């Protein structure tokens, strides 16, 4: 079910007011109408901050969140700055999601404040395809600084939320300046007609979208070009209409 014309017109007016005096923002489409139609401009705004987190406290969901971010970064142009505090990033997995090793500049920060400083400086640089940072805490002041830095340079910012303790995960629901907020959960892989492991599947939840509304989708994981796909069982069936079920905006 698509938004009514009146609601769509109202959102367009809100976006026009919010963007008054700013340059037109470029977007990065996912290439899937079910997702792009939910995003203002038809894709992720490049000069903006976006948040991503795993759907639970498991390793699989955390890895899915990182690969989702890698697939987005893979579809930009230029070098990607990836900032971490823990040296546990698996480069071959990023390559499988389309992000080649020779495109990634890794920065290992000693603590969270240093990581946020690297994140902001990378966004302000203006010569990168995108900046990814694995952060535990992202208070409003920090997220606002990052959003302004991204707007000023036109660089894509992706904050992957990683928590050392699960009681800190509650902060993910707090207000922030990010343009969108996503949660990624691992689903059983696509079945194959022969023994083996099929393409991974994810449940994507768009928890917050400025000038948009929340939705959720079932997709096949990023391929070697960083692209998602609609599972074959949903592409032409009645379930396709439900892959973007709407909820109250976050």
Task: List, in order of start, the domains of the chain with CATH numbers.
Answer: 28-35+44-188+196-247 (3.40.50.300)
**18-32, 36-50, 88-102, 110-124: least confident range:** 18-32
Q: What is the mean pLDDT of the chain?
A: 86
Please tell me the predicted confidence (pLDDT) of residue 208: 94
CA–CA–CA angle 148, 141, 167 (5° rounding): 125
- CB proximity list for 55: less than 8 A, separation 6 or greater: 61, 64, 65, 183, 184, 185, 186, 203, 205
pLDDT score of 2 more than 80 = no
Categorise residue 28: left if φ over 0, alpha if ψ from -120 to 50, beta otherwise. beta
Global pTM? 0.82
Could you tell me the pLDDT band of residue 249, with boundaries at 50, 70 and 90? Answer: very low
Could you tell me the pLDDT band of residue 57, with boundaries at 50, 70 and 90? Answer: low
- pLDDT tens digits, residue range 164-206? 666 666 677 788 999 999 999 999 987 777 776 788 999 999 9
Which residue would you say has higher pLDDT here, 29 or 22? 29
Could you tell me where the DSSP H helices lie in 98-190? 112-125, 140-153
Please tell me the predicted confidence (pLDDT) of residue 11: 67
Q: What percent of the chain has pLDDT over 90?
A: 65
Q: What percent of the chain has pLDDT over 70?
A: 81
Alpha-carbon distance of 155 to 147, in angstroms, equals 10
- pLDDT tens digits, residue range 126-156? 999 999 999 998 999 999 999 999 999 999 9
Task: Give the pLDDT mean for 77-100.
Answer: 95
């Amino acid at each position: 079910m698509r938004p009514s014309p009146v609601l769509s017109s109202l959102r367009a007016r809100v976006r026009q007011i919010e963007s008054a005096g700013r340059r037109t923002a470029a977007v990065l489409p996912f290439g899937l109408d079910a997702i792009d139609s939910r995003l203002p401009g038809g894709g992720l705004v490049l000069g903006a901050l976006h948040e991503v987190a795993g759907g639970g406290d498991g390793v699989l969901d955390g890895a899915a969140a990182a690969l989702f971010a890698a697939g987005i970064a893979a579809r930009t142009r230029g070098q990607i700055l990836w900032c971490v505090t823990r040296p546990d990033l698996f480069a071959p997995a990023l390559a499988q999601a389309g992000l080649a090793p020779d495109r990634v500049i890794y920065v290992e920060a000693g603590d969270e404040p240093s990581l946020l400083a690297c994140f902001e400086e990378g966004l302000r640089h203006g010569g990168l395809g995108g900046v990814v940072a694995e952060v535990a805490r992202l208070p409003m002041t920090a997220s606002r600084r990052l959003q302004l830095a991204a707007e000023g340079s036109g660089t894509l910012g992706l904050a992957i939320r990683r928590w050392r303790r699960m009681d800190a995960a509650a902060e993910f629901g707090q207000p922030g300046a990010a343009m969108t907020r996503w949660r990624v959960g691992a689903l059983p892989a696509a079945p194959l007609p022969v023994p083996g492991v099929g393409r991974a599947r994810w449940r994507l939840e768009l928890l917050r979208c400025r000038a948009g509304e929340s939705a959720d989708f079932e997709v096949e994981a990023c391929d070697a070009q960083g692209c998602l796909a609609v599972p074959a069982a949903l592409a032409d069936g009645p379930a396709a209409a439900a892959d973007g079920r709407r909820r109250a905006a976050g």
